[in-house]
Structure 1
Amino acid sequence: MSRATRLLASVATSAVALITIASSSVSGVVPASADVVVPAEAGVYTAAAAPTKMVGAAAYTWGRFPTSGSVRAWTEVKVGGVWSRSQVVSTDATGYYVIPLTYGANTAGTYTFRVRGELPGGVVSTQEFTVRRLAKPTVTSAGAKLVGLTTYVWGRVDGAGGGRVWTEVFAGGRWVRSQVGQTSSSGSYTLPLTYGASTRGTYSFRVRAEYPDGDGGDVASFHVAAVGFADGESCGVEVCG
């Protein structure tokens, strides 16, 4: 067999991956393209993203496709078992991209994404990945307590089940850790507010929690409550976010 014949036989038997994407009528996203043939030798690509994000916080995915020039790249989100196109960008000259993950940004839940790129040899896809949107932590506290009586702060930290949680009090111009506890498996917590309990006055507290994973800092501050120890008068609770 001649070299040319062997080359033709090799090309004819090369494997291709056929990716078929169904159409969708989901509002806010565009149905992904159907019957896109991708050369098997294109390989498998991985997109990076923070595994958890708070509801309302900006989230991104980033990575690089192997190309010597700018190409089109886009995210797709799986909704109802169907892949639908979301955000479209152009990579830089090295194939690097950063794309916002906007679908589900304001609703707690877990979302499945992938990134696709339009290379000269065809459209390629990254492996799918998930991003969990966490509900905003909650905190509740009695606005006032009589001097000498114990009062508490309680709430829930979504995504921090079984993690450390603690109070901090603003004293001497800085935040000082006070009481340390642990959230339940569902993220619920109850902590005593002990600082200043025997002295009349108004004190500012905040609750902090340790997340098991996240996009940088593992500790998040989320509320401040002003609690007054007095003779039964109401001084309210201030939530500063």
Structure 2
Amino acid sequence: MTLLSVNLNKIAVLRNSRGGDEPDILRAAHTCIDAGCGGITVHPRPDQRHVRPGDVRALATLLRGRVEYNIEGNPFAPPRGEYPGLIALAREVRPTQVTLVPDSDGQITSDHGFDLARDIDLLRPIVAELRDLGCRVSVFVDAGASGFESVAAIGVQRIEIYTGPYAHAFAEGRVQEELERCADTARRAQHAGLAVNAGHDLSQANLGTFKAAIPGLAEVSIGHALIGEALYEGLAATVRNYLQILR
């Protein structure tokens, strides 16, 4: 079955808006794990507007030996204040997977993937170091991306398809073209020996259609929609709903 990794960034956003420790990101992780999720995702950023380095470390202790731990981020963003950088955090906590994302401070959320042909030489030493740490390496790509053979050759093991455009097309009732682009991207990546993850704006409404179109989909990382839906149905129930869709 496709693994569900729950992104807890929005729990941290809510906590940070008031200060203090509530809602508790560790309790949220416990709840998601008890409900059956196979992984937890966080995306720390240098401005620390949601998940912070302390959260990354505390979650590593909680998750070890229980579920997969996926840390997303820009490997080229320099340290700032208490943020030591993505690779430094990976050295400390040794997550199951590091997903490399070319985001910047000016982005509200990730909104594009790497240009693999342009960025391959920059990614090469980063990928090598992460593999030496024992981390699985995934790179965030747009539907329609190319260059999968090259990134597989430098040690990348997975891609994560950016599904924001798919979700937008689904909401507007014009999904087929975007869905086919995602499916074609997945097929070409798999042909190059890469496993396929997906994430961004996936929801209970659109996940089933996406999953059906992507045979062998390894993992979905879902945060914004899942946490929003949990406000109405409860966190554990919402996680179980997603797991049922993936089955």
Q: Which has the higher strand share?
A: 1
TM > 0.5 fold call:
no
TM-score range, shorter chain: under 0.3
Q: Bigger relative contact order, structure 1 or 2, given CA contacts below 8 A and separation 6+?
A: 2
